[in-house]
Amino acid sequence: MASLADAPDLVGFFSYSREDDEGSDGRLSKLRGRIHEELRFQLGRSWRDFRLWQDKATISHGELWEDIINKGISESVFFIPIITPTAVKSPDCKFEFDSFLARERELDRNDLIFPILYAPVPALRDERWRQDPLLSIIVSRQYEEWRNLRHLDVSSTEVAQRIEKFCANICRALEQERLSPEQRRDTEARQVPEAERRLPQEAEIKQRAEEEERLREAEAEKRRPGKDERHRQEEFQQAETQIDGEDLGRLTTAIKKAFNADELDQLVRITFSESLYQSYVGRDLTDEVLVFKLLEALERRGTTVIFLRAVRRARPHKQDLIDLIGKLCPQSMNDPPPATAPIGTVIAALQTLKDRVVEPDVAGSLRSSRDKFDEVAGGFERLKANITLYDCLQTIQIQLYTIDLSKARDDPSALLMLQNQVLQFDLITEHISKVAQSLPDTALGRRMEMKRLVDPLTQAVHQLRDAISGLDYPSAALALNTIRGLLRREPSRINVQLTAIAENLPIGQFIEAIEQVIRELDEEDPAVDMLRSALRGLHELFPRLKGQVLEHDIWQSIEQELSAADRDVDRGSLEAMQEFQFHWKAVKLKITPLWHANPQERWVTRSQKFSDAFEMIFQDVAEAPSRADQLRQRYNMFRLEALARFYQVDNALDTLSGKIVEIGRPLNALLREIPNAG
């Protein structure tokens, strides 16, 4: 059916306090005129077939005000209330608001009210709005913030840009296709259980990921040496790995035979979160020279062991290559030590420096490196805060998969479970707010985080809570859609920030600062060995962190494509399956390097199997709609495996990052002592 925007005569209603308009020399009337013109322009209308009601412009003196307002409301399909303290107290404005709410229900919509908060309203700053039905609706509709603009000329560029954006939101709502009652019931029937059909329940996701982790631990335990052998290996690993001369040439030839340049670039990216060509070698080199220069660069950085571990995992069937790696670099044949081991050496070194900060040799080098330590400590705080924000959103997202409004409508136990979930959302959003307000960034950065994430999420969760409390399921569905919209956008944005923070942690400066302290100490000083162990720990930890952040980033990108594909495969129409085809190709393009990097891992073999099974029946997109149920079933098997792997990658990054930020506490304790050094 046609949209509201297609009506022959299109009418909106501009609700305001006439006293406010007269007291500001007609500023509100001027604002109404600019909004009217911008809407007319964006909708492609003329002055004859598009009107924006305003009582001053429409009602002549002496006419029956209530009848005229009712007539205006009955013709209107959207409502713009100007929110001021006067308007909130005005019986006339409340009458207009209530009248349009009835009109909105008549249109079977709940998204046609567009409030503008024009001046501060005290009740909105505290919890009093919850007891006011009008203010509760205003908050639930996510009003447009205008308090900082009301003193600007409505013709100014800043106001014009905000009006353009505001009107674009109205146009999008008006242009939505109007559904018949039958179509709406069908759509709701598909949407309500969409999350459950599309994605597995939280318990199933966790179970799959935990099963993978148990299998991995069991395999690692089989390979783990005994106590004496482990002690010998730990001592051996403290020595620097040196591969040069003829051995370096042999290793170069073996790796060149096993990888082409593009595959090496992917392996370097996944292992170190760096580009092969930007960080290690130039382009236009022969494959052999490229590999040789890469190995030389890794030797200089002290990361050869980490890279050769990745080579071994990526080519498990190349026994000649694995034997050569075992001979030239035995340390790379073992799994990396737990994160707690190298972190422990760094923390112990920082504690030692703190205990000796009064010594002149130590104090002097620490004072000169204070800025470097400060920057590292700030990086740890930012990393911790963004990980916390991401984890909170991930928790809400997984919980959303289990919500079924239709069950809550009919089953008291399901309703109770839903109320408990909403209570958890409320607690999580409070925690998100505290974290965002304590971000170690600028005040502007904190305000932006509040505006982009915290405020709209909090409003939507409160709307959901109030709707469930009042058994208002249409409003609850609207709130859930708002939350899902935020969760489609915000985790990706925070993941970008997380990646940037991890990639730009000034670990090089941290290492330089520790090296400077070592240079100032006597070689026989027992602290020297401890500090060098800390350096080896840093060289081990941070390439691992960067690699895990990159893998997480790739999975976040895959998840975005799969989320879009979910909606297409659920719709099942020819047009939807054509769109699905593009998302599926993008998923395969992004997941294939991860398959190649760890070909023997269980999630790889399973997801490849499910992918092949799906593609066996998804060969002709024109036939897809007739096989929608079968396609959906096989796609969901792949989807479950992919989501379980993403959950596992997310947990691994969370664990590693949580361990790494533990370095921040002794580092801050050291920083507090440095100014007291004499």
Count structural domains, the chain. Answer: 3
Report how far apart, in Å, the C-alpha atoms of 229 and of each of 70, 222, 235, 336 are: 87, 14, 10, 16
Amino acid at 82: I
CB neighbours of residue 24 within 10 Å: 17
Q: Is the pLDDT of residue 239 over 50?
A: no
Which residue, 111, 227, 125, 225, is CA-closest to 174? 111
Which residue, 639, 398, 655, is CA-closest to 548? 655
Considering the domain architecture, whether residues 169 and 249 belong to the same structural domain is answered as: no
Tokens of 172: 């999008």
pLDDT number for residue 214: 59
> Model-level pTM?
0.54
Does 677 or 22 have the greater pLDDT score? 22
Considering the domain architecture, whether residues 314 and 382 belong to the same structural domain is answered as: no
Considering the domain architecture, whether residues 306 and 418 belong to the same structural domain is answered as: no
Question: 194, 477 in Cβ contact below 8 A?
Answer: no
| DSSP-assigned letter for residue 54 | -
Q: Is the pLDDT of residue 515 over 90?
A: no
Asked if the structure places residue 95 within a domain, the reply is yes
Tokens of 422: 């909403």
Asked if the structure places residue 105 within a domain, the reply is yes
pLDDT in tens, 611-653: 998 888 888 878 888 888 888 888 888 988 888 888 788 777 7
Report how far apart, in Å, the C-alpha atoms of 103 and of each of 44, 588, 597 are: 25, 48, 59
**3-state secondary structure (DSSP) of residue 37:** helix
Distance CA 331, CA 354 (A): 32
* Domain end residue (candidates: 270, 302, 333): 333
Considering the domain architecture, whether residues 418 and 294 belong to the same structural domain is answered as: no
Asked if the structure places residue 216 within a domain, the reply is no
Considering the domain architecture, whether residues 377 and 315 belong to the same structural domain is answered as: no
Which residue, 35, 64, 74, 76, is CA-closest to 168? 35
* Domain end residue (candidates: 281, 315, 333): 333
User: Cα-flanking dihedrals φ and ψ of residue 145, to 5°?
Assistant: -80, 120
Question: 271, 547 in Cβ contact below 8 A?
Answer: yes
Asked if the structure places residue 62 within a domain, the reply is yes
Considering the domain architecture, whether residues 284 and 424 belong to the same structural domain is answered as: no
**3-state secondary structure (DSSP) of residue 12:** strand
Q: Is the pLDDT of residue 166 over 80?
A: yes
Distance CA 121, CA 150 (A): 14
Identify any residues that bridge with 50 across adjacent strands, giving them in sequence order.
10
CB neighbours of residue 437 within 10 Å: 12
Does 233 or 617 have the greater pLDDT score? 617
Q: Is the pLDDT of residue 271 over 80?
A: no
Asked if the structure places residue 351 within a domain, the reply is no
In the chain the first and final C-alpha atoms are separated, in Å, by 80
Considering the domain architecture, whether residues 319 and 381 belong to the same structural domain is answered as: no
* Domain end residue (candidates: 305, 333, 361): 333
Considering the domain architecture, whether residues 397 and 474 belong to the same structural domain is answered as: yes
Identify any residues that bridge with 672 across adjacent strands, giving them in sequence order.
none
pLDDT in tens, 467-495: 888 888 888 888 888 888 888 778 878 87
- Label the pairing between strands 10-15 and 79-83: parallel
Considering the domain architecture, whether residues 62 and 164 belong to the same structural domain is answered as: yes
Instruction: Give residues with Cβ within 8 angstroms of 534, minimum separation 6.
Output: 345, 346, 348, 349, 350, 514
pLDDT in tens, 78-127: 999 999 999 988 888 888 898 898 898 888 888 899 999 898 887 776 65
Question: 166, 134 in Cβ contact below 8 A?
Answer: no
**3-state secondary structure (DSSP) of residue 185:** helix
Distance CA 457, CA 480 (A): 10
Distance CA 457, CA 443 (A): 20
Q: Which range marks the domain in which residue 579 is found?
A: 372-672
Domain CATH number, residue 145:
3.40.50.10140
Considering the domain architecture, whether residues 175 and 93 belong to the same structural domain is answered as: yes
pLDDT number for residue 247: 82
Does 656 or 99 have the greater pLDDT score? 99
Asked if the structure places residue 215 within a domain, the reply is no
Considering the domain architecture, whether residues 383 and 306 belong to the same structural domain is answered as: no
Asked if the structure places residue 385 within a domain, the reply is yes
Asked if the structure places residue 212 within a domain, the reply is no
Percent of the chain with pLDDT strictly greater than 70? 83
Considering the domain architecture, whether residues 327 and 422 belong to the same structural domain is answered as: no
- What is the sign, positive or negative, of the torsion defined by CA atoms of 172, 174, 179, 181? positive
Give Rg (Cα) of the chain.
Answer: 31
Distance CA 297, CA 289 (A): 12
| Mean pLDDT to the nearest integer, 296-325 | 83
| DSSP-assigned letter for residue 157 | H
